[in-house]
Amino acid sequence: MTATTPSHQKLQPQFYLLVFLVSIGFFMQGLDTTIINTALPAIANSLQENPLRMHGVVISYVLSVAACIPLSGWLADRFGIRNTFFSAIIIFTIASLGCALSNSFNSLIAFRVLQGIGGALLLPVGRLAMLKLIPREQFLSAMSLMSLAGLMGPLIGPTLGGWLIEAASWHWIFLINLPIGLLGMLVTFKAMPNTTEPTVKKFDFSGFILLVIAMVGMALGIENIASHDVSKRFSIGLLVAGLIATLVYAYHAHTHQNALFRSKLFRNNIYTIGILGNFFARFGSNAIPFILPLMLQVAFKMEPLMTGIMMTPMVLGSLFSKPIIRPIISKVGYRRLLLINTFLVGACIASFALTTVDTPIWLRAVHFFIFGTLNSLQFVTMNTFTLKDLPQQDASSGNSFLSMIMMLSMSIGVAIAGALLNVFTAYFGEEHITQAFHTTLICLGAINIITALIFYQIPKNQVI
């Protein structure tokens, strides 16, 4: 019998409840991010909105998550892990109820923003609680258990969303969060002590406001650039405000001692390339879970449940890729893998333009599975590459910044997809909606392929 090494021990029973609690938060966030995509046409029909303009429902949630990620660690240190996590579940659950009761597009957007604030705190604070309370040698086992819950959310989300719409109504994709949230509230006081830090730095509110302006300006500027309801001047003004705030924050990060993200992070060349690659290479990939269910339902007239089932091979492809990622990186290296895979992901996105209403179900499923595999390879490799050379003292800040960039990239990716779709629908006419979807997918694929130029900057000697 082999002795268990100190670096990786089995999780002790006293920590099971804590891991279960954090898993609830992870599951809620994972479920909510995916379940909404299948429901957008039904929500649009109920609220008498154009389904091609429903990307705001996705962007509002993801953008508020991105904006509030920098707050999570400071709030947990200042007010305690349990208090912050408990507040996050309350906010998320109440916002879910508000979304379900919304009778207008604007009220739904408002509650999605509130839901995003709760979601922004759930996972980072839960992960922080496990890091502080679970012995380091048991941490890997705890994270492995928790990640199963994170995978379950995206796995069942699209199909569950489609089934709820057909069996009941779109309101239930939000109401389902209520019993899960109530369970989380009850378990929190049992499983999580209210650990605080004795000394907490003053929060960088000026930097936080600059980051919010930068993210909101860029995402909403892109989202509304093709909208008939918002003037071009206002959209361009938002974009300019976002870019100016970005430049001002760059100066702030260099000069302010207490900045949320210090400029010294970017002295690490590998980290800088990884952040830029993560930001741009996620535009097309992150738009796919939004645009494909829309195309299947609006252009191909597929039922919501079948649409949800069709999205499942993507998640299965992601699961399939997990065991093979490390051996592939070891064999070909970060540079070659990211150059080749970025091109393949872009080509796969563009190839969705070849699908029609008559494409066989089995062929569509294989296509989605291949995309899920390539996409997971891309994301895991980019994330590992970005963080691998960060010194210990910068690990927490660097990881938070990467998390924020990932969510911002998702919101901008969906905004770009929505804007392109509206432009091409206006150009081809609504009677040629399939052509508008196809052209949008080709553009998203091209954006991804161009991103390979960033990974070309990776030094040739980079190994795992």
Q: Within this chain, do residues 362 and 229 fall inside the same structural domain, yes or no?
A: no
pLDDT at 4: 42
Q: Is residue 459 part of a domain?
A: yes
In this structure, the chain runs to a length of 464
pLDDT at 1: 41
Domain that holds residue 373: 264-464
Percent with pLDDT over 90 in the chain = 35
The predicted model gives 14-23 an average pLDDT of 83
Q: Within this chain, do residues 179 and 219 fall inside the same structural domain, yes or no?
A: no
Which domain CATH number covers 405? 1.20.1250.20
Contact 381, 325 (CB under 8 A): yes
In terms of pLDDT, which residue wins out, 343 or 7? 343
Q: Is residue 335 part of a domain?
A: yes
Q: What is the DSSP string of 184-235?
A: HHHHHHHH------SS-PPP-HHHHHHHHHHHHHHHHHHHHTT-SSS-HHHH
Q: Is residue 54 part of a domain?
A: yes
Q: What are phi and psi of 348, to 5 degrees?
A: -65, -40
What secondary structure letter does DSSP report for 83? H
Q: Within this chain, do residues 323 and 302 fall inside the same structural domain, yes or no?
A: yes
The predicted model gives 312-320 an average pLDDT of 89
Q: What are phi and psi of 390, to 5 degrees?
A: -70, 135
Q: Within this chain, do residues 455 and 359 fall inside the same structural domain, yes or no?
A: yes
Please write down the long-range contacts of 160-163, taking CB distance under 8 Å and 24 or more positions apart: 160/31, 160/35, 160/308, 161/34, 161/35, 161/36, 161/37, 161/38, 161/39, 161/304, 161/308, 162/38, 162/303, 162/304, 162/305, 162/306, 162/307, 162/308, 162/309, 163/304, 163/305, 163/308
Q: Within this chain, do residues 282 and 378 fall inside the same structural domain, yes or no?
A: yes
Q: Within this chain, do residues 188 and 171 fall inside the same structural domain, yes or no?
A: yes
Please name which of 447, 421, 415 lies closest in space to residue 433, comparing C-alpha atoms.
421
Q: Within this chain, do residues 319 and 237 fall inside the same structural domain, yes or no?
A: no
Contact 140, 8 (CB under 8 A): yes
Percent with pLDDT over 70 in the chain = 95
Question: What total of structural domains would you count in the chain?
Answer: 3
Q: Is residue 5 part of a domain?
A: no
pLDDT at 142: 75
Q: Is residue 10 part of a domain?
A: no
Q: Within this chain, do residues 252 and 269 fall inside the same structural domain, yes or no?
A: no
Query: How far, rounded to the nearest angstrom, does the alpha carbon of residue 209 sit from its chain's CA centroid?
Result: 21
Q: Is residue 4 part of a domain?
A: no
Rounded CA gap, 363 and 382, in Å?
A: 29
Q: Within this chain, do residues 156 and 137 fall inside the same structural domain, yes or no?
A: yes
Rounded CA gap, 214 and 279, in Å?
A: 14
Q: Model pTM?
A: 0.86
Q: Within this chain, do residues 135 and 173 fall inside the same structural domain, yes or no?
A: yes
Computed over every residue of the chain, the mean pLDDT equals 86
47-82, pLDDT tens digit by residue? 888 888 888 888 899 899 888 888 887 888 888 888
